[in-house]
Chain A
Amino acid sequence: DAKTTQPNSMESNEEEPVHLPCNHSTISGTDYIHWYRQLPSQGPEYVIHGLTSNVNNRMASLAIAEDRKSSTLILHRATLRDAAVYYCILRDRMDSSYKLIFGSGTRLLVRP
């Protein structure tokens, strides 16, 4: 399975934008880029996913590099509730099992 590389931790101030990077240099043409986050004492929750084009939803934006070897999750205005571990995961769209392989993720600390 393709691997992703994320920083162990990042810090942000409340109400400021946050850019969470993810490197996936071995991504294949059929891999979706998924982001999940895990708030303290909760299960992971889906944030966003994309294939080639940038994506926006109510939670975040996903910017995908032109060569698809990296991506950035953008939280436009961080709140204290956004403090969580963020996981960048590659999922092969040809894999009908929708298997997710989690790494260690990035722990985001939001300062008031």
Chain B
Amino acid sequence: EAGVAQSPRYKIIEKRQSVAFWCNPISGHATLYWYQQILGQGPKLLIQFQNNGVVDDSQLPKDRFSAERLKGVDSTLKIQPAKLEDSAVYLCASTGLGFLAQYFGPGTRLLVL
């Protein structure tokens, strides 16, 4: 079974630029999550999708972050404009029926200069 795929793996941008991350969850998983992990901290949930609907985006900085999950499969997370404090690893995870566990992708490491 293929795992959660994310791209790119690394991205370096300058502040005020925009950036987008892509995630393809495990096939058949209806629930998809985006997390932000700052160095030395645990992951923090940004947004959760159930199919193509948003379940929870209370921690998403909506003035600069946006996310979508068209057709209820893969998802993109965008930052526009980026700030220095957005430097972090962005993790995507998915879970299927029964919610036994969340399965995480390898993450995208973002550095904002």
**Chain A interfacial positions (CB closer than 8 Å to B):** 36, 41-46, 49, 85, 87, 96-105
Could you list 20 examples of A-B contacts with CB < 8 Å?
A42-B104, A42-B106, A43-B105, A43-B107, A44-B91, A44-B93, A46-B101, A85-B42, A87-B42, A96-B99, A97-B31, A97-B56, A99-B45, A100-B45, A101-B45, A102-B42, A102-B43, A102-B44, A103-B42, A104-B42
A9 to B101, CA, bound (A): 25
In this complex, the member of A42, A98, A104 whose beta carbon has the largest number of chain B beta carbons within 10 angstroms is A98
**Chain B interfacial positions (CB closer than 8 Å to A):** 4, 31, 40-45, 48, 50, 55-56, 91, 93, 95, 99-107
Q: How far is the CB of A46 from chain B (nearest CB, A)?
A: 4
Q: Are A97 and B107 neighbours in the complex by a CB distance under 8 Å?
A: no
Q: Are B42 and A43 neighbours in the complex by a CB distance under 8 Å?
A: no
In this complex, the member of A43, A46, A105 whose beta carbon has the largest number of chain B beta carbons within 10 angstroms is A43
Contact partners of B104 in chain A: CB under 8 A: 42-45
Q: Are B43 and A98 neighbours in the complex by a CB distance under 8 Å?
A: no
Shortest beta-carbon contacts, A-B, top 6: A43-B104, A102-B42, A46-B101, A98-B99, A102-B43, A43-B91
A108 to B88, CA, bound (A): 22
